[in-house]
Amino acid sequence: MDLGELQELIKILEGSQLAEMEIEEEGRRVRLSKLTAAQMAAPMHFLTNPAGQAVPTAQNPDAQEQSNLRGNGLITIDSPMVGTFYASSAPGKPPFVLPGDTVEPNQTVCIIEAMKIMNEVTAKLPVIIEKVLVENGEPVEYGQPLFTARPLI
Amino acid sequence: MDLGELQELIKILEGSQLAEMEIEEEGRRVRLSKLTAAQMAAPMHFLTNPAGQAVPTAQNPDAQEQSNLRGNGLITIDSPMVGTFYASSAPGKPPFVLPGDTVEPNQTVCIIEAMKIMNEVTAKLPVIIEKVLVENGEPVEYGQPLFTARPLI
Amino acid sequence: MFRRLLIANRGEIAVRIIRACREMGITSIAVYSTADRDSLHTVLADESICIGPAEANESYRNIPAIIAAAEITDAQAIHPGYGFLSESAKFASICLECRLAFIGPNPKTLSLSGDKAACRKAVEAAGVPVVPGSPGIIQDPEEAVKIAEKIGFPLVVKATHGGGGKGMRIAHNDATLKHDVAMAASEARAAFGNGGVYLEKYIEGARHIEFQIVADQFGRIVSLGERECTIQRRHQKLIEETPSTALSASLRSRMAKAALRAARAIGYTNVGTVEFLLSPNGQYYFIEFNARIQVEHGVTEEVTGIDLVREQIRLAAGEPLGYSSVIPRGAAIEARIYAEDPELNFRPSPGIIKRCHIPGGPGIRVDTHLFPGYEVSRYYDALLAKVIARGKNRQEAIARLVGALEEFLTDGVSNTARLATRIVRGDRFRRGDIGPDLLEEYLPSIG
Amino acid sequence: MFRRLLIANRGEIAVRIIRACREMGITSIAVYSTADRDSLHTVLADESICIGPAEANESYRNIPAIIAAAEITDAQAIHPGYGFLSESAKFASICLECRLAFIGPNPKTLSLSGDKAACRKAVEAAGVPVVPGSPGIIQDPEEAVKIAEKIGFPLVVKATHGGGGKGMRIAHNDATLKHDVAMAASEARAAFGNGGVYLEKYIEGARHIEFQIVADQFGRIVSLGERECTIQRRHQKLIEETPSTALSASLRSRMAKAALRAARAIGYTNVGTVEFLLSPNGQYYFIEFNARIQVEHGVTEEVTGIDLVREQIRLAAGEPLGYSSVIPRGAAIEARIYAEDPELNFRPSPGIIKRCHIPGGPGIRVDTHLFPGYEVSRYYDALLAKVIARGKNRQEAIARLVGALEEFLTDGVSNTARLATRIVRGDRFRRGDIGPDLLEEYLPSIG
């Protein structure tokens, strides 16, 4: 193992916002992993809500971006607001998108209703929809993933 | 496994902000992992006594043994009780031991007075006294190091 | 009574409201920004829901997000806490339109109490003394000069929609007055969207005394006594106490009656505070309402035994007050602890609280949202904790407060606990010789 | 008044005493065993000193070590807390010989209160009802049988120097009685160095009511009201409250007078507790003194506003009581939380508290020595925290206590918080229908 190379890799990981790095080549494998903020600070994750959450917890609530990388090359399209998820423009109408659909940037993928206003959620990138994560009519939090999708860039 | 190389890897991990490192090559696999902050458990050492300690804190209060290894091959002879340290049997008398003295097992090295009772402290091992850590007449805690000494075994 | 209540706030007051809900058997629903995912209110509430990013305008001040959160969680009522949307007449009326009970006064009262010049007029008309000043909004700088001739300098130029010291200037002579009026008006327009300003005489050496009132929807209104809040730095209160050492029994009774008259004049319901200035010669003047729960409500709770947050909820649900007068017992003092560095001109000190020790014992109550691992965010108010001591008299409360403040410890952020300790241990505070100049004695001299 | 006071104890009561010292301006000196190097009392005290290894007999019960620590730290007084040396007449008299004030009754009173058979006699002679039983120590099993004929079965065989349920047996007939007397005597000889046993009638369904008293050195003695402590498991109290739902005003007044008569009969000074059994038909019987501060003293403090630890120190310093009667206000209930697993027959659960959340808010006081990182040691008592709620009435106190218990969280050790929650939420507790059988309803059935 070339220690200089290892040091280099560590520096790259530390300088990035990644949590882990795993490299495999020519029979060698290196896996490096950061302390998570939670591990460093041990906030009270163990305090669970006795009555459970009102709605599923957003998996990435720090999302400032609509789309977030998943490990497997997929991204998620997250809710830009708290409200009610609608897959189609009106009851009985077909959904805006279905798994397998190719979606262009600015194309509407769903509606979030908040205070009686229908807010159209659009894709920012060209993607293929993989999975719809939320049922029609289901309440969603800010930042909650609505779809997984495969970027087409 | 080359222990020198392992030490090298440990140093690199310790010096970094990473939590884990895993390396696999030529059929060997090494995984190193740091204690998290939570595991280190953080008792409130930062709470210091506003008015300072009554007497110096024993450096090794978990001492169940009289003698404790120091890093440099020296041991300490610790106080077996809370009380007042006397280096000699009576005022004006010469001290029981001085730095450089060779001491046999069961030889008295000092007295700790508690509730008017003079308790003789004896060496458990043959040692050479290196340094007296406490002034004559000074109060001492349980477990407080009184002497550093070099074992003669 | 409500079964489900949404709390449109964060920090210690959200925790306080959760506790009131728990005691009342109401399901509490917390809203949180992405910065507060691990905050205490988020984890202690029965349910919690993310409503937006860290910036308060996008989350805790975001009316559509909060209403949507209330709707999808089937909340029946919204408690706004203090700050954020708590005194927004617009928010209160949207709540009502959406058939959500707003825990606070009705929108009409909030409109009036939020328009300081109009409120001052209404209260004066009810026979309550107000600080001498302009009869209403100043139309132009020349009008200000004429009024100044009548009431004399120094004068305070105040924005009618201002608050917390913003849009406020002190003028010492005609020359600066015109400039100050123009500047305050443009500041206020920028900050509050309303450039109306008015004038008040500056009362030198005045103490800041406020009365806690509670009013039901059936016309019953009761005073729960005063709080002395004179020790402030730039309109940020540091130490509050009840009873005030400034009031005789007769003055207290007169001021309480004035507070009730003022509240009736604007049709006040629910829980609120009437603020007065008390001049060194014993003359009191109404200045404004705080139409919400106050940060310092705890000192009143400690001497009256009345849970003010529970009263807010009960009264908003249409329940009647169960008493027509209350006799406070003993004394209570609160020290607020902020994540600010007094040595660096009170610069905010955000960061992660690595470890902390919260004091306790007889007579001590600490309202806080701190825990080891909590991150004090630069996005929000710097209040870390309120340490409240009660005693059978002021001396006992001071001794307990000093002990508790000495015990209070956090690392990771600078805070004002030691400053507070020095003030309450000091001779002037012990003597009860409190004035707006007291704090200066404890501030690092600006060399 | 003392300037320097040494605390011969650990855990929450040591923290409690440190707080009283702080409030009184007394320098507090903690002693600690090597297991308590990072304990809260060690770090919160003004000074602290290591006195021995983890085993209590070598540290907290080690008289020479404690006296030596007091001497080298120039302490003027020793507060023994509860447990350990707190009721040791020998320790109290050694303190006096060494010119150290002992914070508690004088050694003579301690001797008498520690000898239960003799104490029972003295109190009976003062006209206070005692449980029917043997006039003194039983000399042989035959004598026991004769007494049993007079007073009837079931009977309790008690060791005169026993305590906390040790050296106590219940006998149901002649056959077992002889055996029980012999066994209790030999148990007591082994455990307390004194094999004297006596007999008392077993009062079925009796509630456990105790009266808090305070007595100065000038003959003034005052009752601060009762505490209901019936909810116990093997003599370990779980829930205590004041006032008791079992007492009418007239019964309370008669029992308070009996408590004061009993205390005078043994020359009691300082702060103490007189324990009674109250039979279902309203007959009360003295059983014993607790000649020290009680674990559950906080509930009395919350309703009287009197700091009992401060009173202990003041009275030991020769100060007089400043009142001749006290009217308690409202209600207070305490739930003790132990590091024990109710699912595993209350097996102690030592370990490191990784994280914890201590509840707070209006009316809540938590006396505890917990903090994240604290190690619950197998060497000491399993008490983790006392959660105390006060309210203007019992209903309010219950609602607050339930809320606080639901909030209480620790990880790393099992604890009894949920059991306590279930009890105080339960119908029987709410109704005030409390009896020695109440706890059984909440225990896992032993299949």
Whole-number pLDDT of residue A59: 42
pLDDT digits (tens, 9 = 90+) for C226-246: 999 999 998 899 999 999 999
Determine the distance in angstroms separating the CA of C365 from the nearest CA of chain D, rounded to an integer.
7
- Select the residue from C354, C355, C410, C411 to test the B interface by mutation, using most B Cβ atoms within 10 A: C355
Pairing of strands A108-114, A102-103: unpaired
Residues from chain C that touch A57, judged by Cβ atoms under 8 A, are 50
Q: Residue C74, SS3?
A: coil
Whole-number pLDDT of residue B46: 37
Whole-number pLDDT of residue D167: 76
Of D360, D392, D403, the CB nearest to C366: D360
Whole-number pLDDT of residue C268: 98
Percent of chain D with pLDDT over 90: 87
pLDDT digits (tens, 9 = 90+) for D196-210: 999 999 999 999 999
- Tell me if chain C has a CB within 8 Å of the CB of D366: yes
- Tell me if chain D has a CB within 8 Å of the CB of A46: yes
- Tell me if chain D has a CB within 8 Å of the CB of B119: no
Mean pLDDT of C108-116: 95
Determine the distance in angstroms separating the CA of D181 from the nearest CA of chain B, rounded to an integer.
40
Helices (H), B3-111: 3-15, 37-40
Determine the distance in angstroms separating the CA of C352 from the nearest CA of chain D, rounded to an integer.
16
Q: How far apart are CA C238 and CA C440, in angstroms?
A: 12
Percent of chain D with pLDDT over 70: 99
- pLDDT exceeds 60 at position C446: no
Of A47, A50, A82, the CB nearest to C50: A82
Whole-number pLDDT of residue D280: 96
- Tell me if chain C has a CB within 8 Å of the CB of D406: yes
In chain A, the residue whose alpha carbon lies closest to the alpha carbon of B16 is A10
pLDDT digits (tens, 9 = 90+) for D398-414: 999 999 999 999 988 99
Residues from chain C that touch B47, judged by Cβ atoms under 8 A, are 357, 409
Residue A40 · residue A19 · CB < 8 Å: no
Residue D201: name the closest of D255, D142, D158, D141 by CA.
Answer: D158
Residues from chain A that touch C47, judged by Cβ atoms under 8 A, are 49, 51-54
Find the range with the poorest average confidence among A90-104, D76-90, D155-169. D155-169
Output the 3-class SS for C110-125.
HHHHHCHHHHHHHHHH
Mean pLDDT of D13-38: 97
Q: How far apart are CA C271 and CA C212, in angstroms?
A: 8
Contact B23 A14 (CB under 8 A): no
Print burial letters for D168-189: b (CB count within 10 Å at least 16), e (below 16).
bbebeeeebbbebbbebbebbb
For D393, list phi and psi in degrees, rounded to 5. -150, 175
Domains of chain C (ranges, CATH numbers): 4-103 (3.40.50.20), 132-201 (3.30.1490.20), 207-441 (3.30.470.20)
Contact B47 C409 (CB under 8 A): yes
Structure-block tokens of residue A95: 């959904």
Domains of chain B, residue spans: 1-34, 43-151
What is the widest separation between alpha-carbon atoms in chain C? Answer: 60
Subunits next to B (3 or more Cβ pairs <8 Å) are A, C, D
Of A50, A61, A82, the CB nearest to C37: A61
- Select the residue from D409, D418, D422 to test the A interface by mutation, using most A Cβ atoms within 10 A: D409
- Select the residue from A115, A116, A119, A140 to test the C interface by mutation, using most C Cβ atoms within 10 A: A115
Quick one: pLDDT band at residue C107, thresholds 50, 70, 90? very high
Contact D68 B55 (CB under 8 A): no
Residue D414: name the closest of D444, D390, D440, D439 by CA.
Answer: D444
Q: How far apart are CA C215 and CA C273, in angstroms?
A: 11
Contact A144 C44 (CB under 8 A): no
Determine the distance in angstroms separating the CA of C73 from the nearest CA of chain A, rounded to an integer.
6
Contact A44 D355 (CB under 8 A): yes
Structure-block tokens of residue B76: 């300490």
Other C-beta atoms lying within 10 Å of the C-beta of residue D39:
25
Annotated catalytic residues of D are 292
Residues from chain C that touch A42, judged by Cβ atoms under 8 A, are 372-373
pLDDT digits (tens, 9 = 90+) for C258-289: 999 999 999 999 999 999 999 999 999 999 99
Residue that the structure tokens 């509860």 belong to: D82
Whole-number pLDDT of residue B2: 63
Whole-number pLDDT of residue A71: 63
Structure-block tokens of residue A149: 């999708």
Residue A37: name the closest of B38, C355, C34, B15 by CA.
Answer: B38
For D6, list phi and psi in degrees, rounded to 5. -95, 140
Q: How far apart are CA C318 and CA C310, in angstroms?
A: 13
Helices (H), B35-138: 37-40
- Tell me if chain C has a CB within 8 Å of the CB of B40: no
In chain C, the residue whose alpha carbon lies closest to the alpha carbon of B47 is C409
Whole-number pLDDT of residue D446: 53
- Tell me if chain C has a CB within 8 Å of the CB of D23: yes
Residue D117: name the closest of D166, D145, D159 by CA.
Answer: D159
Determine the distance in angstroms separating the CA of A43 from the nearest CA of chain D, rounded to an integer.
9
Residues from chain D that touch B119, judged by Cβ atoms under 8 A, are none
Residues from chain B that touch D48, judged by Cβ atoms under 8 A, are 49, 53-54
Whole-number pLDDT of residue B54: 35
Quick one: pLDDT band at residue D141, thresholds 50, 70, 90? confident
Of C355, C406, C409, the CB nearest to B42: C355
Pairing of strands C409-410, C356-357: antiparallel
- pLDDT exceeds 80 at position D113: yes
- pLDDT exceeds 50 at position A56: no
What is the widest separation between alpha-carbon atoms in chain A? Answer: 63
pTM: 0.87
Given CA atoms C113, C119, C124, C130 in this order, what sign does their dihedral have?
positive
In chain B, the residue whose alpha carbon lies closest to the alpha carbon of C356 is B44
Q: How far apart are CA B19 and CA B33, in angstroms?
A: 6
Q: Catalytic site residue C292?
A: yes
- Tell me if chain B has a CB within 8 Å of the CB of A16: no
pLDDT digits (tens, 9 = 90+) for C31-84: 999 999 999 999 999 999 999 999 999 999 999 999 999 999 999 999 999 999
Find the range with the poorest average confidence among A37-51, D119-133, D370-384. A37-51
CATH assignment of A43-151, given 1.20.1530.20, 2.60.40.420, 3.40.50.300, 2.40.50.100? 2.40.50.100
pLDDT digits (tens, 9 = 90+) for C328-382: 999 999 999 999 999 999 999 999 999 899 999 999 999 999 999 999 999 999 9
Residue B141 · residue D51 · CB < 8 Å: yes
Q: Which residues of chain B have pLDDT under 70?
A: 1-4, 6, 17, 26-27, 34-71
Whole-number pLDDT of residue C258: 98
Contact C355 B50 (CB under 8 A): no
Whole-number Cα distances in Å, A52 to C29, C54, D99: 11, 23, 60
Of B8, B21, B25, the CB nearest to A32: B21
Given CA atoms D310, D314, D316, D317 in this order, what sign does their dihedral have?
positive
Residue C49 · residue C31 · CB < 8 Å: yes
Mean pLDDT of D25-53: 97
- Select the residue from D12, D13, D19 to test the C interface by mutation, using most C Cβ atoms within 10 A: D19
Of D48, D67, D373, the CB nearest to B42: D373
